[in-house]
Amino acid sequence: AEPLDRRRLEASERALGQNHPDTLIVIGNLAATLNAQGRIFEAEALERRRLKASEQALGPEHPRTLSALGNLAMTLCELHRHAEAEPLQQQ
């Protein structure tokens, strides 16, 4: 699944741009794939990228931004970085 997700991400970035809402969904899918493979640090980096881009493109209160925020918080919890996750969970 990962190679396909990466190809989809490259294609989406080319066709739509890095901050397009559809590209952000593809980033989230790739992050989920990496997380499922146990590659949590790579997933975290993508989730941070997705959150930042979503805040810029959609705004901080958009449901997709809030979803990205929650996904990052869960990943930080998986990494036992609860002190970083807690403020995100309270937003």
pTM, rounded to two decimals: 0.90
Distance in Å from the first CA to the final CA of the chain: 32
pLDDT tens for the 91 residues of the chain, in order: 899 999 999 999 999 999 999 999 999 999 999 999 999 999 999 999 999 999 999 999 999 999 999 999 999 999 999 889 888 877 7
